[in-house]
Amino acid sequence: MNKIFELDNTDYYYDDDIESFEYKEVRQENNDNSMENATYHFFIQETNVNIFYSNGYLQQKQKVVNDNCTAIADDNVALVNGGGLIHANRFTVGTIEIESNINYSALMPQGLGLMHFTPDYPSSEVTNMLFYMDTSDTTHRKPLKYYGTLLDATKITDFFKNLGTNEKYNQGFTERREFTKDSKTVTIWIPLKHVFDFVREYKKVITGLQVKFEFQRNHSNNMVYTDEQNKDYKVLVEYLSLWLPYVIFKNSAAAKFNELRLSDKNVEINWNQRSIVKSNIFMKNSNDFYTIKATSDEVLSLYVIPQFTDRYENAKQNNMLFDNLDMIEYCLMINNIKVPTVSYMMDFEKGDYNRLYTSLLESGLNTIASETGCMVNYTNFGKLYPIICFNLAHHQNYTCSGIESKDSDLDSDHHAADVRRAYLVIIVNQLVAT
């Protein structure tokens, strides 16, 4: 391991170089949190302190209320997975914009979390993130269901004989509702490393520069999920702040750190940065093709999230779930070269999509050499989370690509009234800065 003050070596650090390590709160500059599209600004203007942003957190305090801002009662409504607060974000160091996403930022940690969080992870840090994944496309809160007609004369033996698992039970919705029912305030802690890739990979202190964080909030209809009829809800953001670790080095480390900081040595920083874009809107029973322009020469991977457009800004639809769109064939075109060489073929109705699911496991590091697991099992992949993964690390000269999809003639059971669809594409680029 290298040391935290070695700015030209970007791995890990030794704790024994630290004299003190204390979290301090930085409050947002805004005074009005009521606007649906409010932008929250955080300025860190201290230039003579060492801040370890990689271990920082964004603290949110939210509550669900009626449209007139009165408290809800026993309504069947909850925040979406993760809370869905951030619609856009920007990270600036000095006068240089390091990283930004201008739309759909709430969907990116959802997709990446499903791929990279292990099955036991929900019992630890992600509970602070309100990450309780949905297990069905419903708001059902009863895990058991009686299959038959329950009468006063029903025998107890017949009752248990006909009692079975409710396949529409949504465990994630049920757990999140416990935090938000009766307009209770829920506190959510989001690690900055899950929002900004530079912060995740640059595990060094930043000093001598002003830093700015900006977050634009989502619309309430993208933040709640309900089956209540003729009712509208709002999400009030009661409080927002950053918690950042301030570091004081021991004397020997401080001397070496200041020597490096004041030198003229150029430092090359490499990191993988994710961005998200939305395709055109397509109609059902059409062959879709959408061109994606490269944002750098080093595109490592693409993750494609198919979704019906009626999930957006619609509290009656869960926008943290994805849709298989009855696809039967899928591929990526890079400079007229098909990836993979043989298209992904699938039949979601028959549960035949093994190749596609395997690509998800490999993206989540679940391979022969590393079996870390994945949040999404085979069944939920087809029904709720069909994330299509392309590993492009070994494809050279990436200039532009297009995603190409074909669907079947089947009608979707749940979205027959609205057949418009789109693809959200998470692009992973390798960036270099000096």
DSSP of 340-364, one letter per residue? Answer: EEEEEE-BTTTTB-HHHHHHHHHHT
Closest CA relative to residue 172, chosen from 218, 106, 222, 126: 126
Of 43-52, 75-84, 301-310, 412-421, the least confident: 412-421
Q: Could you list the beta-strand ranges (E) of 104-232.
A: 144-146, 163-165, 186-191, 211-217, 224-226
Name the amino acid, one letter, at 21.
F
User: How wide is the angle at C-alpha 173 spanned by C-alphas 172 and 178, nearest 5°?
Assistant: 100
2 in Cβ contact with 9 (< 8 Å): yes
**What percent of the chain has a predicted confidence (pLDDT) above 90?**
39
Write b or e for each residue in 66-93: b if 16 or more Cβ atoms lie within 10 A of its Cβ, otherwise e.
Answer: beeeeebeebbbbbbbbbbbbbbbbbbb
Residue type, 158: D
Q: Quick one: pLDDT at residue 411? A: 47
pLDDT at 335 (0 to 100):
74
Q: Is the pLDDT of residue 409 over 60?
A: no
184 contact partners, CB below 8 Å, separation of at least 6: 63
| pLDDT in the model for residue 369 | 47
Over range 387-405, report the average pLDDT. 70
Most confident stretch, 251-255, 330-334, 347-351? 347-351
| pLDDT of res. 368 | 46
The pLDDT of residue 181: 94
Tell me the mean pLDDT in the region 317-336.
Answer: 87
Nearby residues of 40 by Cβ (< 8 Å), 6 or more positions away: 28, 29, 30, 33, 214, 215, 216, 217, 240
Q: Which residue has the higher pLDDT, 214 or 371?
A: 214
Mean pLDDT of the chain: 83
Q: Residue 220 and residue 233: Cα distance in Å, rounded? A: 7
Average pLDDT value for residue range 31-43: 80
pLDDT of 355: 92
The rounded distance, in Å, linking the Cα atoms of 236 and 220 is 9
Q: Is the pLDDT of residue 417 over 80?
A: no
Cα separation of 91 and 97, whole Å?
A: 6
Which segment of 71-85, 328-342, 349-363, 410-424 scores lowest on mean pLDDT? 410-424
199 sits in which H/E element: helix 197-201
Domain span(s) for CATH 2.70.9.10 in the chain: 15-132+172-262
Whether residue 410 has pLDDT greater than 50: no
For 15-132+172-262, CATH gives 2.70.9.10
What separation, in Å, do the N-terminal and C-terminal C-alpha atoms of the chain show?
Answer: 22
